[in-house]
């Protein structure tokens, strides 16, 4: 299977916007389409609680035909048009789709952050992990989320092997971001968040990028769009992952970033696995 994951930072903007950034986003979508993946996972859709509009669906059906769409959007009491996830999977696939709640704190379970596809012999699940926020105002809740999410993945793993992807909002090791020293207490690189990811892997999961590439440096999945030169200087972070149950790690054939050109923010990540 070929699988691609991408934090799109507003599906509506990417599909219907007329800005230069929207054009760059559409170019990334074309790149994903040309890869012809079996499954596409999208995070931070920012759709309303009603999900994609008729216009969104028409554009998607034209741009990426032959896919079934499953979406999970933020709903009350959570913020409107916030977070959100979506799967597109080839019509020849027929997974059971679930939208799990994990007992997360605050409104996190209502923010559309997880979708899971269950197949006969494995799960594919995606997540948009909550950000610890400016000034780390949500760090304590984020730590609770990390525990609940690890419990959820481990519960799936007891049933059958798991393939998990998404924007995990954490750079795990110092080699996973350009400037670790100056970001010690930045959201996404606190000791607490890094420990949460370490604990997740310890529950029986493999970071497929490191499994394939070892300790290679300078490969990132996100560049701050507020810093104009972040991508030019490759001042990035690796915060988007493909994880698999340890027992199927040897089935991973490829795990890498997809070139998103000059567009800053997240770049898509690709996994190929003989599952």
Q: Which residues are catalytic?
A: 128, 167
Distance CA 269, CA 35 (A): 12
Closest to 136 in 3D by CA, of 85, 197, 189: 189
Tokens of 73: 């959007």
Long-range CB contacts for residues 186-193, cutoff 8 Å, separation at least 24: 187/131, 187/132, 187/133, 187/134, 187/136, 187/139, 188/131, 188/132, 188/237, 188/239, 189/237, 190/132, 190/136, 190/139, 192/139, 192/142, 192/143, 193/132, 193/139, 193/142, 193/143, 193/146, 193/169
What is the torsional sign of CA 82, 84, 47, 260? positive
Q: Which residues contact 131 (CB under 8 A, 6 or more apart)?
A: 138, 142, 169, 187, 188
Measured CA to CA, the distance from residue 106 to residue 139 in angstroms comes to 12
Q: d(Cα 239, Cα 172) in Å, to the nearest integer?
A: 8
**Which tokens hold the place of 32?**
């994903």
Q: What are phi and psi of 127, to 5 degrees?
A: -145, 145
Distance CA 73, CA 86 (A): 8
Helix (H) / strand (E) element for 7: namely strand 2-7
């Amino acid at each position: 299977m070929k699988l691609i994951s991408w934090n799109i930072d507003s599906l509506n903007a990417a599909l219907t916007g007329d800005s230069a950034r929207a054009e760059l986003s559409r170019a990334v979508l074309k790149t994903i389409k040309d890869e012809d993946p079996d499954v596409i996972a999208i995070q931070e859709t920012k759709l309303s609680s009603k999900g994609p509009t008729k216009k969104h669906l028409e554009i998607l059906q034209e741009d990426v035909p032959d896919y079934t769409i499953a979406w999970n959007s933020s709903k009350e009491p959570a913020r409107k048009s916030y977070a959100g996830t979506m799967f597109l999977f080839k019509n020849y696939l027929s997974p059971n789709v679930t939208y799990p709640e994990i007992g997360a704190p605050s409104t996190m379970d209502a923010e559309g952050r997880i979708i899971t596809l269950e197949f006969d012999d494995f799960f594919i699940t995606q997540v948009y992990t909550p950000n610890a926020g400016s000034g780390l105002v949500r760090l304590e809740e984020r730590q609770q989320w990390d525990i609940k999410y690890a419990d959820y993945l481990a519960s799936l793993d007891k049933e059958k092997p798991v393939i998990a992807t998404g924007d995990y909002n954490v750079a795990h090791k110092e080699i996973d971001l350009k400037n670790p020293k100056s970001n010690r207490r930045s959201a996404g690189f606190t000791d607490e968040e890094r420990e949460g990811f370490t604990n997740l892997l310890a529950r029986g999961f493999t970071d497929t990028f490191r499994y394939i590439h070892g300790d290679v440096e300078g490969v990132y999945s996100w560049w701050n769009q507020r810093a104009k030169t972040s991508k030019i200087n490759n001042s990035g972070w690796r915060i988007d992952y493909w994880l698999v149950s340890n027992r199927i790690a040897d089935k991973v054939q490829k795990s890498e970033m997809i070139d998103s050109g000059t567009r800053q923010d997240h770049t898509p990540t690709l996994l190929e696995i003989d599952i």
